[in-house]
Amino acid sequence: MEKTLTLGLTLFLTLCMDIPVAGGRKEGDSGPNTRSSRSSDSKSGRCSYTFIVPQQKLTGALCVNTQSAATNHSEVAVLQAELKRQQEQLEKLRGQLEQEVDLTTEVRALRKESNSVNSRIAQLYAQLLHEVIHKKDQALEQQRVENLLLNATTQALQVSNNYRELEKKYGALTSMMSSQNQLIARLEKQCQCRDSTQATLVTTEAPKSQSNAHPNYSSEAKEMTNDVQRDQSAPPPQQTKAAHSLPTSPTSTPTDLPFISAPVTKTPGPWRDCQHVLASGETTSGIYLLHLQSANQLLQAWCEQSQAQGGWTVIQRRQDGSVNFFRTWEQYKQGFGNLDGEYWLGLEHLYWLTKQAQYKLRVVLEDWQGRQVFAEYDSFYLEPETDWYRLHLGQYHGNAGDSLSWHNNKAFTTLDRDKDSYTGNCAHYQKGGWWYNMCAHSNLNGVWYRGGHYRSRYQDGAYWAEFHGGSYSLKRISMMIKPT
């Protein structure tokens, strides 16, 4: 067995040594050039040997060629270029990774901030929804209160009309009782003096006292002066005049004093207007009897003789809020209020008054700090009721600002006659009667609020927009006219 293995190994080594190498020599040649041939061979090629020999059976030296093959420079260059390219790509990917990390951080921060903003928006939306619901409830409640107020105002106006009718009837009954008491007094006096000649004189002169009235008074004029502007709680002047001029019995004495008292004058009057009063020598401001020549009617008005050279006929005045100016068309037509205080002269009276001559308008305003301003218009007149008492104004001048020219050529509007240019009724929102447009730059017949600035759902105060604006209710207002 060992002999056979030795022969096989010798044959294998022999075959291996006979293989040509790159240097042109066989491996295992002897001689002086054997070492140098191996060096040359180690530079030019590589020889591999495989031994399948049991370790315990081998004896002697073995030849193993461990020389490396020659390096391929082109492949190394390609590998180095590929390695460099991959390193560049790696650096690029590393930069992109860092950018993505930064973006991820920013996205996380933005997402966190977005969540906080969303929670805040949800909170604000809940608060807003609560406020809207609350304000809607308040608006409904305010609308309900306004409807109740409007209904109460309508009922109060109806009661006022009924009361005025009762006043007229009471005045007629009082006059009748006064006449009867006077007749009874004369009859008693006649009975006492039946046998004397004086009884005859009393009997013949008594009827003359019944017709002792001013020649300019007609029955219609008496009725107008009886119903001219006065407070609702005051009795008519005709009733009081009869009570003062005629003797009465204790059962027929009136309980209320007259609402006005005319000043003592040098001339009896009546006058065309307050300028005529001033020209007649009357320089005291007060209530005077005027005769509308174009309508042949009598009315009473306040004559202002102390401002702007005097001669002004006051057509409207506000000073203490004692009179409600939220009235009907008929009331604005005939006039209402108290000539000693707050009143409205009446649209019908204004129409006939301004037909007598060419008049100018002066509006005097006073705020709650005592500052007074005025606005004058060099022309002022009204159209008749068939044209809804349409307003016509001239050129403005003054220091209050022009807040009335916007209402020029506009019809008069009240709560029961809507003649403005607005889709709704401006009188309902402004709580008064005026020559509304859409709706007002001035509202001198609005609500008299104490203190100036007021809070209301609408601009319904007595305001002049060019003087403190629409949310400021003025303290004193007077509108006056005078011939130019």
Tell me the C-alpha distance between 382 and 137, whole Å.
44
What's the Rg (C-alpha) of the chain? Answer: 59
Q: Of 60-74, 405-419, 451-465, give the lowest mean pLDDT range.
A: 60-74
Which residues have CB under 8 Å from 415's CB, separation 6+? 326, 327, 328, 425, 427, 428, 433
- Region 320-326: mean pLDDT is 94
Question: Does 479 score more than 60 pLDDT?
Answer: yes
Confidence bin at 336 (pLDDT 50/70/90): very high
Considering the chain, what percentage of its residues have pLDDT values greater than 90? 42
pLDDT tens-place string over residues 357-373: 999 999 999 999 999 99
Burial of 361 (0-12, 13-18, 19+ CB in 10 A): buried
User: Average pLDDT, whole number, for the chain?
Assistant: 77
Which residues have CB under 8 Å from 195's CB, separation 6+? none
Q: What is the pLDDT of residue 36?
A: 40
Q: What is the pLDDT of residue 175?
A: 72
Confidence bin at 266 (pLDDT 50/70/90): low
Confidence bin at 380 (pLDDT 50/70/90): very high
Beta bridge partners of 302: 287, 314
- Region 75-104: mean pLDDT is 90
Q: What is the pLDDT of residue 304?
A: 95
Question: Does 75 score more than 90 pLDDT?
Answer: no
Burial of 111 (0-12, 13-18, 19+ CB in 10 A): exposed
Strands 343-344, 391-393: pairing kind:
unpaired
Confidence bin at 460 (pLDDT 50/70/90): very high
Tell me the C-alpha distance between 47 and 297, whole Å.
152
* Residue of 447, 434, 427 lying closest to 479 (CA atoms): 434
pLDDT tens-place string over residues 1-36: 555 555 555 555 555 454 444 444 444 444 444 344
Please tell me which residue, 286 or 50, carries the higher pLDDT value.
286
Tell me the C-alpha distance between 394 and 408, whole Å.
9
Question: Does 154 score more than 90 pLDDT?
Answer: no
Question: Does 470 score more than 70 pLDDT?
Answer: yes
Q: Of 159-168, 335-344, 404-413, 440-449, give the lowest mean pLDDT range.
A: 159-168
Q: What is the pLDDT of residue 182?
A: 75
- Spatial contact of 274 and 265, defined as CB atoms under 8 Å apart: no
Burial of 257 (0-12, 13-18, 19+ CB in 10 A): exposed
Please tell me which residue, 375 or 39, carries the higher pLDDT value.
375
Tell me the C-alpha distance between 41 and 129, whole Å.
98
* Residue of 408, 378, 374 lying closest to 396 (CA atoms): 378
pTM over 0.85: no
Please tell me which residue, 478 or 296, carries the higher pLDDT value.
478
Query: What residue type is 394 in one-letter code?
Result: G
- Spatial contact of 453 and 472, defined as CB atoms under 8 Å apart: yes
- Region 187-196: mean pLDDT is 67
Q: What is the pLDDT of residue 214?
A: 34
Question: Does 319 score more than 70 pLDDT?
Answer: yes
Confidence bin at 343 (pLDDT 50/70/90): very high
Helix (H) or strand (E) holding 318: strand 312-318
Q: What is the pLDDT of residue 320?
A: 94
